[in-house]
Structure 1
């Protein structure tokens, strides 16, 4: 990094040195600390991963590559870049969890020096930190990172609220510390009297963002928030934790319903402690936390305690197969299910937060879920197939409806049936991203696969089995799909399966495509005996005009003539076109080749035309109308998601119409303005990535 400087003006090397220091404080071994020093080398210098491995070994290279951002790759949007960064990071975490520890240390030091960046960039980084990295630190149990990341994000995202709470906490600090010291001294004396050895009894202030969250959640002012600090008691054994709890409840009156046993029921991030809220001598609520020294180390260092206090600095790898990282396996599963960048980011934000409800399986296993979770959420947390075949549920031995919110301590039993299947109605009440995504994926997959299978059967009955598989993979078959306004053969088969296109129309298009691809017609030779009448070929299509670069008309072949774009098939630049001489005064009508309306036209009225590539290369802003229809899983917000993808591609929407049916899929008809075929292809690809989209096709109108 020689010669490089940070935004503050200081030498860049100050940053990797600080990151390495944070990792050393967590107890990292030599490879982890080396990765801290080197984490930006591949991204910001000419050093290659191969050179890193040669100098420092494969372990350090693997860690550095895991945290290297994808800055040298091109993406269509910032959202896509961010999503791809996280996909890569989680994959690296699955191999070695230390990757995210390096990334957290990197982010923490960047947050400490964020004031040197522009305001917009500060807010963007702070928001990403609060939504992704602070929850990740919490998932890994690294409390000291989580609290500071949250407070620093709070400082830049809600600066006025941050300063206000900071001043209020400072004003009351002396009185609060005096009160906590008196209570701590009283507790020490009582613990000594009954011979409970303790390592520490002290007051602990809550971090600023935690106070702010409580004020927002409870709609209270700062003066009404009493537990802005807590007493922490650290003892040696689990038994002494419960004995110390008895002392606290004997000295102070406990508040009913405010006791939590995280020792018997640890949090998903391995956090363990006893929490109780009592009325102090001053008549105000006071939180008391009781834990062992080992529990305290895990609360502070989380997964890093695995190295710092268990193995004397050893950095033995932990990966996604470890039972502590079921949440990471779930994030990896979503990477396969959710192709759309925005949906993926929203799901990981939801999935990173701790579960608030703890329920039990009939075998006594603990399952953490989000607040408001239902038996369907529980079923999908157990296994995808349990959710897909869920037919009912018992909670504490009683039958309940599938939308019943679960409570702490519920024993949940899922009743499955082989023929049961997910209902679209479930999307209205499930709360966990995992359940929501599994329901969507099942419906999208099964709905489409059933229709594809039906379409295949219909086509196979007409053409025969002999050579049928080769035909489906042939160029004429792909051309047939495109001429029927579908992007792939599977899309065409699905449309054929649910009746969107007729078998006769498909066979007619196939005959045209076979004739246009004479060398490939041999693919169908073996089928001639089983369906000779279906392979009668049409006359040779009209040849396109040669390019005339000097022409200024968008369409070659109509220079000086009156012409218009056909409203039935709405051609766009990049697609094969044909001209038709109209019987009216509108001149020549420009159609897409293969348009159903052209079939009825006699050959003497057809005019060979083509797009003028010279006009297209000059980047003229002309657009062309295209009508599309999207079949979607009906849910609130699906139209907004589709429109946002169109906005990302700078596409104007002329009109929109939504047709919904009870407990069925919905149809969205859109009229959009497109520059060319490439833009249409990109747009179709982005919309089809949305998990709620089942089918997408371009509309044509058949004229009488």
Structure 2
């Protein structure tokens, strides 16, 4: 562990003007606050933030970042607060610490919700200041180095999986390849211990048997380049086990079939020498077509620049070669951190444009699973390059389509897409793009994202935008139904309802506006009786059961043939309604489940007690389910809602289950009087020109 004076000296070496007093205060503060806390290894807990601060000095980051690294766990794991941090170290450090800290209340959430909420807060914080990410990556790297001390294997696996899915990809996206490789190695060792052990042993064996072959190849390359008048540095190494394992998995080959397990790096003085060196290698050894990549003229989004090629050395040995300048090498290994110039106000914003896509995904994601899925898509996939007709370059994951490209250019362009030209030819929207494709997006003013696109888009940004648009469209359609039902509800209250009464009702129901109310009614999130009471308080008192409002009265169904006091529920597989012949299935510890006699579940050979049941006198208000296929055109949903309103039926739920242009299929749960009532509704639906098909589900 670094001592206090050693840490300060490290910072002063590259930043002589650093505030030595603040760094000393931060060191002492974290030692005092963590006190007697220990880590799983048995070391004092404060050794962890000190080591993270040491990692930040290796990157030569500014004093605020070093202080943040020292303090990053104090708010989470001690009695210190963000206000304490601000009072002692200033607002900048407090803001950074707050960005890195995981709030304790998040720990009470289910695992996916907790992970998603942490990720959401983290992405928003690092979009404001990338130093949050740099400290977090240092924190995770040191935790991975000590992961083997944790006794519970399931906890080690969870942390390793999160590292592999989130933190290693984030390190790659900001160009910190050293961090990425070490995180992947340590996570791979936990997630695939047998594969890790096997590959490591094979690499050791090759190392012992090759008699210094890596050094010999590196020397041959250096001699060939020297003869051409180039002064370079050449280094070689075996690829690390995770890289080999991933290649085996992608190509479906064994270890013996992975031929390019050696990689060499050539460092030159300038860019021109990079291309000269490439020419020398390609004329001295045979190169593999299709394996040459020029990331100098076309850098990756994280700023990575290098030439990549693969050669055949000797008769059959494949080796990978990377060629770059010293400046490129420094940037490639440590990314944003390598040229951090925050003190001069020079934020490297161009390097983190991809963060804006992540923030859009955060805003559009509907639930934790969706957020995690989209974020992983956005940060961890192999890339291809495609161009607009004007030459603007966009990097996309492999397998991306024209729709993914459109959303990458701009969310609005993606939403209005109706067609695409790829390299001048009209192509289907689901066509996968190749490196170097020129893509022209054709758009329409009234176009909107289609649910079917989710079947082929691969980028998180596209999926998030499409799902959001579909949800908004569904909400509008449900609100349209709700407005029709509201008119029917309002007609039953003993007063004329104007705008003032409606606004008062919305306030009583604690809703935002009319649209919220209509959506709540259409989606059955609120009962008709509640709406009536909000419109005219007291108007629902004394409503008769046999009045038209029976179905909002809240009276329960009665069923004959049950022992008094025995609980029951109506089966959701067949949704029996009064008028159906019914039987009961007695289930242990669950009471009685009531089925229609022709329910397919009864034909599946249930081995249990059957009860012969019938409907009692208070048999109103059961829920029947219909499957209705509408023509996909304006006004069809409104017509269906009108049929429901005319038949005085309460819509309990409405769900779109299939979209197959030009048809849209919905499942609708309706609270009806009896089978005759449900049959009348079915007849009315089938008679409508808007309905292609209507059946009982």
Taking structure 2 as the reference length, the TM-score comes to: 0.72
> What do residues 204-257 of structure 1 show as CA deviations (whole Å, max 9, x unaligned)?
331210011111111222222222121111112211110110010111111111
Separation (CA, whole Å) in 1 of partners of 2:39 and 2:77: 12
SS at match of 2:105: coil
Separation (CA, whole Å) in 1 of partners of 2:535 and 2:625: 37
Give 1:445 shift.
0.8
SS at match of 1:393: strand
Give 1:512 shift.
5.7
Give 1:467 shift.
6.9
Change (3 A) 1:458 1:124: closer
Give 1:99 shift.
0.5
Change (3 A) 1:169 1:662: farther
2:307 corresponds in structure 1 to 274
**Alignment of 1:57 onto 2:57:** no
Separation (CA, whole Å) in 1 of partners of 2:519 and 2:267: 63
2:673 corresponds in structure 1 to 702
2:319 corresponds in structure 1 to 286
Is the contact between residue 23 and residue 33 of structure 1 (CA under 8 Å) also seen in structure 2?
Answer: yes
Separation (CA, whole Å) in 2 of partners of 1:284 and 1:206: 14
2:517 corresponds in structure 1 to 489
2:386 corresponds in structure 1 to 359
Is the contact between residue 476 and residue 510 of structure 1 (CA under 8 Å) also seen in structure 2?
Answer: no
Separation (CA, whole Å) in 2 of partners of 1:228 and 1:585: 73
2:431 corresponds in structure 1 to 404
Give 1:151 shift.
0.4
Q: Give unmatched runs, 5+ long, in structure 1.
A: 519-536, 543-567, 593-620, 628-654, 668-683, 689-693
**Alignment of 1:328 onto 2:355:** yes
Is the contact between residue 142 and residue 300 of structure 1 (CA under 8 Å) also seen in structure 2?
Answer: yes
Separation (CA, whole Å) in 2 of partners of 1:138 and 1:461: 58
2:226 corresponds in structure 1 to 192
SS at match of 1:256: coil
Is the contact between residue 95 and residue 318 of structure 1 (CA under 8 Å) also seen in structure 2?
Answer: no
Separation (CA, whole Å) in 2 of partners of 1:31 and 1:335: 27
Which of 75, 78, 84 aligns to 2:117? It is: 84
User: What is the total number of aligned residue pairs between the two structures?
Assistant: 560
Greater RCO, 1 or 2 (C-alpha within 8 Å, sep 6+): 1
2:415 corresponds in structure 1 to 388
Q: What is the root-mean-square deviation of aligned Cα atoms in Å? A: 4.2
Change (3 A) 1:63 1:492: closer
2:686 corresponds in structure 1 to none
Change (3 A) 1:467 1:323: farther
Is the contact between residue 355 and residue 368 of structure 1 (CA under 8 Å) also seen in structure 2?
Answer: no
**Alignment of 1:37 onto 2:70:** yes
**Alignment of 1:209 onto 2:242:** yes
SS at match of 1:231: strand
> What do residues 649-674 of structure 1 show as CA deviations (whole Å, max 9, x unaligned)?
xxxxxx99996969979x9xxxxxxx
Is the contact between residue 229 and residue 287 of structure 1 (CA under 8 Å) also seen in structure 2?
Answer: yes
**Alignment of 1:427 onto 2:454:** yes
Change (3 A) 1:473 1:236: farther
Which of 200, 205, 210 aligns to 1:166? It is: 200
Is the contact between residue 215 and residue 221 of structure 1 (CA under 8 Å) also seen in structure 2?
Answer: yes
Change (3 A) 1:408 1:586: same
Separation (CA, whole Å) in 1 of partners of 2:332 and 2:628: 50
Change (3 A) 1:124 1:656: farther
Taking structure 1 as the reference length, the TM-score comes to: 0.71
Which of 89, 94, 100 aligns to 1:67? It is: 100
SS at match of 1:204: strand
Could you tell which deviates more after superposition, 136-145 or 281-290?
281-290
SS at match of 1:172: helix
**Alignment of 1:124 onto 2:158:** yes
Give 1:86 shift.
0.8
Give 1:424 shift.
2.3
Aligned pairs (5 A) from 1:145-160: 145-160=179-194
Is the contact between residue 232 and residue 290 of structure 1 (CA under 8 Å) also seen in structure 2?
Answer: yes
Separation (CA, whole Å) in 1 of partners of 2:540 and 2:344: 71
Give 1:471 shift.
3.7
SS at match of 1:100: helix
> What do residues 410-462 of structure 1 show as CA deviations (whole Å, max 9, x unaligned)?
00000111122222222221121221221221122123225535754785799
Give 1:475 shift.
3.9
> What do residues 156-202 of structure 1 show as CA deviations (whole Å, max 9, x unaligned)?
1110110111111111114557223222223223333332232x111
Separation (CA, whole Å) in 1 of partners of 2:505 and 2:149: 57
Could you tell which deviates more after superposition, 220-229 or 358-367?
220-229
Separation (CA, whole Å) in 1 of partners of 2:593 and 2:136: 47
Give 1:67 shift.
0.9
> What do residues 663-691 of structure 1 show as CA deviations (whole Å, max 9, x unaligned)?
979x9xxxxxxxxxxxxxxxx9xx99xxx
Is the contact between residue 581 and residue 588 of structure 1 (CA under 8 Å) also seen in structure 2?
Answer: no
Separation (CA, whole Å) in 1 of partners of 2:88 and 2:382: 43
Change (3 A) 1:328 1:480: closer
Give 1:626 shift.
12
Is the contact between residue 130 and residue 150 of structure 1 (CA under 8 Å) also seen in structure 2?
Answer: yes
Change (3 A) 1:171 1:468: farther
Could you tell which deviates more after superposition, 36-45 or 189-198?
189-198
Is the contact between residue 355 and residue 371 of structure 1 (CA under 8 Å) also seen in structure 2?
Answer: yes
1:238 corresponds in structure 2 to 271
1:143 corresponds in structure 2 to 177
SS at match of 2:431: coil
Aligned pairs (5 A) from 1:157-556: 157-176=191-210, 178-198=212-232, 200-307=233-340, 311=341, 314=343, 316=345, 318=347, 322-453=349-480, 455-456=482-483, 468-475=498-505, 489-492=517-520, 494=522, 511=532, 514-515=535-536, 517-518=537-538, 540=542
Change (3 A) 1:354 1:217: closer
Aligned pairs (5 A) from 1:641-652: none
Separation (CA, whole Å) in 1 of partners of 2:509 and 2:104: 38
> What do residues 385-423 of structure 1 show as CA deviations (whole Å, max 9, x unaligned)?
211111111111111111111111000000111122222
Is the contact between residue 96 and residue 317 of structure 1 (CA under 8 Å) also seen in structure 2?
Answer: no
Change (3 A) 1:699 1:191: same
Is the contact between residue 578 and residue 591 of structure 1 (CA under 8 Å) also seen in structure 2?
Answer: no
Aligned pairs (5 A) from 1:564-603: 578=555
Give 1:326 shift.
2.8
